[in-house]
């Protein structure tokens, strides 16, 4: 029986919103999902509405402006039809059967009126759960003064349980609160005096005041994904936190303490607001400047976690163990999430810090493909998807044979053809290494009696915001509002989405027609370089400002030298007029390769979600 209505309130949530929506739509007990749009970019709203057209259970409530969390939940609650209602934070992903477990707990504990889950980090570690003690003005005072860790009873949060038994709590995270719809209406919903913060805390207190119980359901482990790249209004959020605490104290504890104590609490809360709103922005800025590398890892985490959450789960590769090299590259991330969704167990090799993302079928191996001491930690592997530079594959083929690999799919590049006539020494070297690697792979595999290898040569790739082509063009357009070209810039291109490349891997994985062959993989459209730029301008709603200059090759050479970026050079400008077309007819005929239109996903194809 579909008997739970889910309410999500979204205000500039970002790319997490759609992953959250998909995690809700997979729930078997879902009656309806109502997303309250309190303020999102027009393209995000349009994408939500488009999604709602094909999903009867999804409704979008928009046009009311930012009316606050509590008021938005109550607005949506008036349209709910399920026996139960779940208030869900859009930064969370529901695990499978989350609704079923919440509903079951509420039914098995008659006195329970409100149930919540636990919040876990993407790496599986515990983030936040139920509180064992009631939040009082004393605890708020200690928190505001930074003294809560010194209190003997400061551990107001329950430790994560070692079993999955339901337990009673003083409150549960507001990110996930489930109630019977009748009880929600009986309490007249959330208190709309709380604009953003403390509304959930207040609801837990009100439930207990009328004799109900709040319970925590450890089986419901939500993945909490905080997008650190979102531009948050720190001062506004801190003020709402301060107002929420003061309203909570006045509402539930006025008259219960000595005169003047609550005024002391309010003063401490305001001091905390002033300190946080004044210095937290500077702290975050300084920290972001010091941790650019961590920011790149965070972005990859978001791409992997949200991308996997949006994919339908299949069992097409269940029982297979697949090794992915270059797993944190733009193609590698898409391949990993597609393999996990297909039921495969994935061994992901990375030479840098691993992505802090937990999945039962995912194991990370820290290793450098160029190192002599690389090993696979004793794992036996059915297949390898090589997403690292192609020339790193031939030296490790013997290692793969020892691991009983029966299938190899490797990514090269059409630049082996496109840059064949380049005058740039760096590009010449890349072309030579690609050509040599392709020949070496065929030779090594033949010597080992392996015919089940396949090489994919993508054209210009885009789609997760990590490429040096489309994303670089988009950043220039976004930051400067114009783009320089070497006239006339009518060379033809066929950009291909990285996720289409990952789909090609799954299509060809068990197809014997692809053995011992190389394929060019291009996008479905052939467009000129100018047309490509014009579409990028449209994404950012900018009037196309294309600046024509014959000085561009010289300027790019200077820029590459100053920035010490070998891939930036004058040859890029000259190639704006070359027709770089590499049709994928063979791939379509042999394994059904069918790529999407260029920038079909709008800005999501630029920013990586």
CA gap 344, 557 in Å, rounded: 45
Q: Which tokens sit at 505?
A: 């891997």
Sort 447 into a burial class: Cβ within 10 Å, 0-12 / 13-18 / 19+: exposed
DSSP state letters, 11-55 = ES--THHHHHHHHHHT-TTEEEEEEEEEE--HHHHHHHHHHHHT-
Expressed in angstroms, the distance from the first to the final Cα of the chain is 33
H helix runs in 311-349, sequence order: 330-341
Task: Parse the chain into domains and list their residue ranges.
Answer: 4-224, 234-290, 293-469+495-542+581-607
Position 291 pLDDT exceeds 70: no
- The mean of the pLDDT values for the chain is 89
Cβ 131 vs Cβ 169: under 8 Å: yes
DSSP bridge pairs for 345: 321
- Cα 595 to chain centroid, rounded: 22
Position 290 pLDDT exceeds 50: no
Position 155 pLDDT exceeds 50: no
Residues 6 or more apart whose Cβ sits within 8 Å of residue 608: 15, 299, 302, 303, 463, 464, 465, 466
With tokens 């109550």, the residue in question is 74
**pLDDT value at position 579?**
95
**Of the candidates 542, 566, 541, which has an alpha carbon nearest to the alpha carbon of residue 556?**
566
Which pLDDT tens digit goes with each residue over 214-273? 999 999 999 998 755 454 577 888 899 999 999 999 999 999 999 899 999 999 999 988
Mean pLDDT along residues 550-578? 92
Cβ 576 vs Cβ 485: under 8 Å: yes
CA gap 445, 432 in Å, rounded: 20
CA gap 117, 218 in Å, rounded: 6
CA distances from 176 to 88, 125, 201, 308 (A): 5, 18, 12, 21
CA gap 301, 608 in Å, rounded: 11
- Strands across the sheet containing 383-386: 362-366, 345-350, 321-325, 383-386, 407-411, 453-458, 517-521
Low-confidence winner among 127-141, 365-379, 465-479, 521-535 (lowest mean pLDDT)? 365-379
**Of the candidates 363, 453, 350, which has an alpha carbon nearest to the alpha carbon of residue 400?**
453
What is the share, in percent, of the chain residues with pLDDT greater than 70?
A: 93
CA gap 88, 51 in Å, rounded: 19
CA gap 328, 82 in Å, rounded: 42
What is the share, in percent, of the chain residues with pLDDT greater than 90?
A: 67
Cβ 35 vs Cβ 8: under 8 Å: yes
Classify residue 157 by its DSSP letter.
B
Which pLDDT tens digit goes with each residue over 8-53? 999 988 778 999 999 999 999 999 999 999 988 887 898 899 899 9
Q: Count how many Cα atoms sit within 13 Å of the Cα of residue 53 in the half-sphere of its side chain.
A: 6
CATH code of 4-224, in short, is 3.90.550.10
**pLDDT value at position 153?**
45
* Distinct helix (H) and strand (E) counts, the chain: 21, 23
Which pLDDT tens digit goes with each residue over 397-415? 988 988 899 999 999 999 9
Which pLDDT tens digit goes with each residue over 546-555? 999 999 999 9
With tokens 């210095």, the residue in question is 279
Give 468's pLDDT tier (boundaries 50, 70, 90): confident
CA gap 559, 571 in Å, rounded: 13
Mean pLDDT along residues 597-605? 81
Mean pLDDT along residues 81-106? 95
CA angle 255, 259, 260 (to 5 degrees): 115
**Residue 182: strand, helix, or coil:** helix
Cβ 206 vs Cβ 114: under 8 Å: no
Mean pLDDT along residues 193-208? 95
Give 374's pLDDT tier (boundaries 50, 70, 90): confident
Mean pLDDT along residues 467-474? 90
Q: Which tokens sit at 218?
A: 């450890």
Mean pLDDT along residues 528-543? 89
The architecture CATH gives domain 293-469+495-542+581-607: 3-Layer(aba) Sandwich (3.40)
CA gap 540, 505 in Å, rounded: 32
Q: 84: part of which helix (H) or strand (E)?
A: strand 84-88
CA gap 322, 384 in Å, rounded: 6
Return the sign of the alpha-carbon dihedral for residues 171, 175, 176, 179.
positive
CA gap 344, 382 in Å, rounded: 10
Look at phi and psi of residue 225 and say left if phi exceeds 0, alpha if psi is from -120 to 50, else beta: beta
CA gap 321, 463 in Å, rounded: 26
3-state helix, strand, coil in the chain (%, to 5): 40, 20, 40
Give 346's pLDDT tier (boundaries 50, 70, 90): very high
CA gap 328, 592 in Å, rounded: 27
Mean pLDDT along residues 294-309? 83
How many residues are given for the chain? 609
CA distances from 120 to 15, 129, 139, 523 (A): 19, 9, 24, 38
Give 298's pLDDT tier (boundaries 50, 70, 90): confident
Residues 6 or more apart whose Cβ sits within 8 Å of residue 518: 412, 438, 454, 455, 456, 457
Q: Count how many Cα atoms sit within 13 Å of the Cα of residue 598 in the half-sphere of its side chain.
A: 23
Residues 6 or more apart whose Cβ sits within 8 Å of residue 2: 28, 29, 30, 31, 82
Position 154 pLDDT exceeds 50: no
């Amino acid at each position: 029986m579909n008997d739970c209505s889910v309410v999500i309130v979204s205000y500039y949530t970002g790319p997490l919103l759609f992953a959250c929506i998909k995690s809700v739509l997979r729930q078997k007990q879902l009656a309806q999902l109502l997303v309250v749009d309190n303020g999102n970019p027009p393209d995000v709203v349009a994408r939500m509405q488009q999604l709602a057209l094909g999903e009867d259970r999804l409704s979008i409530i928009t046009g009311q402006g930012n009316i606050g969390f509590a008021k938005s939940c109550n607005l949506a609650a008036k349209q709910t039809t399920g026996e139960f209602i779940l208030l869900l934070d859009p930064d969370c992903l529901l695990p499978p059967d989350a609704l079923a477990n919440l509903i079951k707990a509420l039914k098995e504990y008659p006195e329970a009126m409100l149930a919540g889950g636990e919040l876990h980090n993407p790496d599986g570690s515990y983030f936040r759960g139920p509180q064992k003690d009631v939040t009082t003005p004393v605890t708020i005072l200690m928190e505001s003064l930074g003294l809560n860790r010194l209190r003997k009873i400061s551990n107001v949060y329950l430790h994560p349980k070692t079993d999955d038994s339901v337990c009673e709590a003083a409150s549960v995270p507001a990110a996930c609160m489930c109630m019977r719809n009748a009880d929600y209406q009986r309490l007249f919903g959330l208190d709309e005096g709380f604009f953003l913060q403390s509304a959930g805390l207040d609801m837990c207190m009100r439930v207990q005041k009328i004799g109900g119980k709040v319970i925590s359901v450890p089986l419901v482990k939500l993945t909490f994904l905080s997008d650190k790249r979102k531009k948050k209004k720190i001062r506004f959020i801190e003020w709402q936190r301060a107002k929420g605490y003061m309203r909570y104290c006045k509402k539930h504890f006025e008259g219960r303490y000595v005169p003047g104590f609550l005024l002391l609490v309010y003063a401490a809360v305001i001091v905390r607001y002033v300190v946080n709103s004044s210095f937290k922005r500077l702290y975050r800025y300084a920290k972001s400047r010091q941790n650019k590398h961590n920011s790149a890892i965070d972005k990859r985490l978001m791409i992997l976690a949200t991308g996997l959450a949006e994919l339908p789960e299949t069992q097409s590769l269940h029982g297979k163990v697949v090794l992915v090299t270059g797993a944190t590259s733009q193609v590698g991330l898409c391949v990993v999430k597609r393999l996990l969704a297909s039921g495969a167990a994935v061994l992901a090799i990375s030479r840098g810090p691993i992505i802090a993302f937990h999945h039962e079928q995912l194991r990370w191996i820290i290793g450098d493909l160029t190192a002599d001491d690389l090993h696979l930690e004793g794992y036996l592997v059915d297949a390898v998807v090589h997403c690292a530079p192609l020339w790193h594959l031939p030296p490790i083929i013997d290692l793969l044979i020892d691991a009983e690999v029966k299938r190899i799919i490797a990514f090269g590049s059409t630049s082996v053809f496109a840059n064949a006539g380049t005058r740039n020494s760096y590009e010449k070297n890349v072309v030579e290494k690609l050509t040599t690697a392709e020949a070496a792979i065929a030779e090594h595999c033949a010597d080992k009696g392996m015919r089940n290898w396949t090489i994919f040569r993508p054209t210009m790739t885009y789609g997760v915001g990590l490429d040096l082509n489309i994303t670089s063009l988009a950043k220039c357009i976004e930051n400067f509002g114009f783009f320089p070209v070497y006239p006339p810039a009518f060379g033809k291109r066929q950009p291909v989405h990285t996720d289409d490349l990952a789909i090609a891997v799954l299509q060809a994985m068990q197809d014997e027609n692809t053995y011992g062959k190389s394929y060019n993989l291009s996008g479905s459209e052939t467009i000129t370089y100018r047309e490509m730029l014009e579409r990028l301008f449209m994404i950012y709603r900018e009037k196309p400002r294309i600046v024509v200059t014959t000085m561009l090759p010289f300027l790019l050479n200077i820029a590459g030298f100053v920035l010490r970026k070998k891939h930036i050079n004058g040859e890029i400008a000259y190639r704006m007029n070359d027709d770089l077309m590499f049709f994928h007819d063979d791939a379509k005929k042999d394994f059904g390769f069918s790529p999407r239109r260029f920038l079909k996903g709008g800005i999501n194809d630029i920013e990586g979600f």
